[in-house]
Amino acid sequence: MHTSELTPTVLRDLRRERRYPALSLLMPTHRHRPETAQDPIRLRNLLTEAKKRIADDPKVERVVRLDLEGQLDRAAAQVDFEHAEDGLLILVAPGEHHNWQLTSPSPVPDRLVVADTFLTRNLVAAKIYARPYWVLVISEEATHLWEGSGEQLTQTESLGFPLDPGIPDREDALPGPNFGTKPGPQREERLRQYYRAIDTALGKAAGQDKRPVFVVGTASALALFDDVSERSGEFAGRLAQAGLDKAPAHELAERLRPVLDAYAEQLNEAALERLAKARGQRRFAGGLGEVWEAVGQGRGTLLLVEEHYLAAARIEGDHLTAILEDGTGGPGFEEDVVDQLIETALDKETEVRFVPDGALAEDGRVALVLRY
């Protein structure tokens, strides 16, 4: 399954408690050769480690172990490495398995987690990255509007698109003073009218479904469109490149990826600015203990977590009572309480954003902007 298929209902089901053990296998994958050749080997190694973990676990009965081994093998057989994205997440529990391909702007780590819940933070991060957006591909032949989610693009044939300019027309084909040189003023004005029509249609689409808008076209097309558009200052990004008006979805997505990544970085910077402002107003919590308590009370409006921050702890009731440095288990032990923290934040309708490692070094790698 792809991140675009992750609905709130699906996520809630994945986050519910399972019969022990629930296995989460996470690994990076590659989109192109020759790097893809290493992915099946990496998966085999991860499967071997997972099977050893459950074989050595005295809490796992033989019948359960055999079921899990079969689920792991079936999940692995369903992996399509030929159409891999940036990461693979396999979730296995007694009687079930789930495969997810992840699109991520940052490297996906190798992880194996054995618990009574699935690891979902990477799904959440990928879903944040895959929030819906529009891609407007401007062309003098026909302008198209694409609906995007992550790197999945679908061309829309509604909302006034595709939009045909009717340029060039019969008048442009007749010899005249500008024949064979630059376009005449009449054609230039018709082109501007066409771009205004594009802007009007885009405004209607955005009015029905407000999303970030990315604009694609030649440098001259983008310059003219910026000149006539009433919303040029609102565009999330621009890609000045010719020939993409006829490109298939996968090629357009590949060319657009650096622009999407740059936009994701902008959002991270904006989130860190919100944190800095909240810190100045003493409206923030920093460190796992403080953040855990505030999130549980529903006091957070924005949770920021470093991408690869992990923390094992013992939980008693609603309290995080001890961070276990030696990684030992016991009653209430959680291998990664950060994953549970993120789930609680989502339940409390707190916005979650993942930032690069080191961005929250002063705050203990996790911070929360408070409502009050």
Question: What tens digit of pLDDT does each residue of 274-283 get?
Answer: 999 999 999 9
Q: Decide if 302 contacts 350 (C-beta within 8 A).
A: yes
Q: Is the pLDDT of residue 29 over 60?
A: yes
Q: Indicate the pLDDT class of residue 333, thresholds 50, 70 and 90.
A: low
Choices 3.30.1330.30, 1.10.150.120, 3.90.1150.10, 1.10.15.40: CATH for 283-372? 3.30.1330.30
In the chain, where the domains are located: 1-130, 133-266, 283-372
Is 138 within 8 Å of 121 (Cβ atoms)?
A: no
Question: Which of these, 369, 195, 219, 212, lies nearest to 294 by C-alpha position?
Answer: 369
Question: Facing residues of 88 across strands?
Answer: 27, 101
Residue type at 180 in one-letter notation: G
Return all residues near 46 (Cβ < 8 A) that are at least 6 apart.
25, 27, 110, 112
- CA pair distance 250, 311, nearest whole angstrom: 38
C-alpha dihedral, 259 to 261 to 262 to 265, nearest 10°: 160
Taking a C-beta distance cutoff of 8 angstroms, is the pair 315, 296 a contact?
A: no
Confidence (pLDDT) at 170: 45
Architecture of domain 1-130: 2-Layer Sandwich (3.30)
Query: Does 334 or 204 have the greater pLDDT score?
Result: 204
Beta strands 313-316 and 319-323 are antiparallel
Residues 285-321 pLDDT 10s: 999 989 999 999 999 999 999 998 988 887 876 677 6
What CATH number belongs to 133-266?
A: 3.30.420.60
231-267 tens-digit pLDDT: 989 999 999 999 999 999 999 999 999 999 999 999 9
